[in-house]
Amino acid sequence: MSKPNPAPPVVDHVSDATLRGFVGYHMKRAFNVVQADLANTLKPFDLRMITYSALVLIVDNPGLRQSQLADAMDIERPNLVVIIDELERRELILREKVPTDRRAYALVPTLAGRQLCARAIEAVTSHEARLLQGVGMTEYAQVLDVLRRIEAKGTKE
């Protein structure tokens, strides 16, 4: 007769071969690295990934409304409030009243905001260059293309 409770074998090395069959798994692992690295890069500026994105978008699109920014960042309006609060408290941006619509605020960067943004962008740029060292231009372009195509699959239908 067979043993009722055969002892499971001792696992010396954990295999993730099955998960490696999925792009999503690779994307998550690679993105975790990028995210951790980005957090370190932004730490000297006292910015998080999310506040950095918001600041860049406000600098690039001065005068946009909070709802427009929330749309662009793909988050809900309530979650943007604290982010804007923080950027405003640090005087990197301003909430300006819109004369034609008294419900809305136009978000504009201050000089300090634009300057911090420029320095942060520079740091992030050299940071990404380090993560991508050894990746050729054509290779890079192809990866961006595939990522964009995957992204597009989400918005349609």
Partner DNA sequence: GCATATCGTTATGTGACATAACTATTATGA
Partner DNA sequence: TCATAATAGTTATGTCACATAACGATATGC
Q: Identify which of residues 81 and 129 has a Cβ nearer to DNA in the complex.
A: 81
For the window 19-38, what string marks contact with its own copies as x by the rule CB under 8 A?
Answer: x-xxxxxxxxxxxxxxxxxx
Interface with its own copies in residues 100-139 (CB under 8 A) = 106, 108, 121, 124-125, 128, 130-132, 134-135, 139
Angle at 42 between CA 39 and CA 43, to 5 degrees: 80
**Is residue 103 involved in binding DNA (CB under 7 A)?**
yes
> Using CB under 7 A, which of 55, 84, 117, 124 touches DNA?
84
Q: Is 39 in the site for its own copies (CB under 8 A)?
A: no
For the chain, the distance separating the N- and C-terminal CA atoms, rounded to the nearest angstrom, is 57
Choose, by CB under 8 A, the member of 1, 4, 16, 102 that binds its own copies.
16
Shortest Cβ distance from residue 53 to DNA (Å)? 8
Q: How far is CA 150 from CA 25, 50, 131, in A?
A: 14, 22, 22
Contact status: 18 vs its own copies (CB under 8 A): yes
Torsion angle (degrees, nearest 10) of CA 5, 10, 14, 16: -30
Is 65 among the residues that bind DNA (CB under 7 A)? yes
Based on the shown chain and the rule CB under 7 A, indicate whether residue 41 belongs to the binding site for DNA: no
Dist CA 35 CA 28 (whole Å) = 10
Q: What one-character-per-residue DSSP string does 22-64 give? A: -HHHHHHHHHHHHHHHHHHHHGGGT--HHHHHHHHHHHHSTTE
Q: Which residues bind DNA (CB under 7 A)?
A: 48-50, 65-67, 74-81, 84, 95, 100-105
